[in-house]
Chain A
Amino acid sequence: MDVILFLTFAVIAVVCGINVVVQTHPISSALSLIGVMGSLAVLYLLLGAEFIAMAQVIVYAGAIMVLFIFVIMLLNAGAESKRGRSFVAQLLGFPLLIAFLALASYFIQRLYPDTAMVQFGAFHGGTAQNVGRALFTQYLLPFEVTSVLILIAIVGAIVLARKELE
């Protein structure tokens, strides 16, 4: 059951990820990215990260992607042109990508042989209670610093995107 769920959503994530890269229209890329994020949320659930799965759906698929699609529609972005790509990049890009993936897979397999298994329900540390306890005790200072970061981001976004006064 775990294997079926993992394979299903891993394939959805990879197909949507390829779609993000190959689609020419930004709206298609954005919708594919939502597919990647949704299937990653299911994988987080399989890994026992309930809170992170919910945050993924709400923050990433909900808030951030809505912002992206809003900007795409606001700018009325069309399909991009295919021309003007470097010859070396076209020739070497795909083989280098495959080589990188093969190398990474080899080292991952060596570091984590198949004895390290992931079973649904074997780890219950990802509930909102546990995450909240760690967040408000051990990681309190970084948590407070991120609130300042978000405040700065809000001010920066408003200053950058506002209309100049006459």
Chain B
Amino acid sequence: MTNGVPLSWYLILSAVLFALGVAGFLFRKNIITVFMSIELMLNAVNLSFVAFSYQLRQVNGHIFTFFVMVVAAAEAAVGLAIILTVFKNRQTLNVDEVSSMKY
């Protein structure tokens, strides 16, 4: 047990990456960067799943990670199509200028 890494380090790394994703989501204006921050959060959660899967010695966490990847791929395809449409109609990628649904 001398040359191992504590499990908590993996979970803290996951929390750091998730916090960075939240920060990017809230602070950035470019809609593509906001979208990439969401992907960063998904990756952070995946790391947690795999770490817990190791701790419990079960494969279920890997399955969840697999499903998250599938949903992320579908989400990226649809989301980027929406971004293309928004850019085609508004000629802007700034989220503050795409706010007609506000109020």
Contacts and interface: CB of A to CB of B under 8 A. Distances in A.
B36 interface: yes
Nearest to B25: A21
Contact of A33 (B6, B39, B54, B81): B39
Interface of B: 1, 3-13, 15-17, 19-24, 26-30, 32-33, 35-37, 39-40, 43, 46-47, 50-51, 53-55, 57-60, 62-63, 65-67, 69-78, 80-85, 87, 93-94, 96
Nearest to A60: B69
B36 A30 contact: yes
Contacts, number: 236
Q: Looking at chain A, what size class is its interface with the partner chain? A: 35 or more
A44 B50 contact: yes
Contact of B6 (A13, A117, A131, A158): A117
Given A52-B66, A131-B63, A157-B77, A36 B84 contact: no
Interface string A29-69: 11001001100100110111101100110011001100110
Given A51-B62, A71-B83, A117-B7, A21 B27 contact: yes
A156 B75 CA distance: 10
Task: Find the residue from A1, A14, A49 having the highest chain B CB count within 10 A.
Answer: A49
Contacts of A116: 6-8, 55
B87 A75 contact: yes
Contacts of B78: 153, 156-157, 160
Task: Find the residue from B12, B19, B36, B94 having the highest chain A CB count within 10 A.
Answer: B36
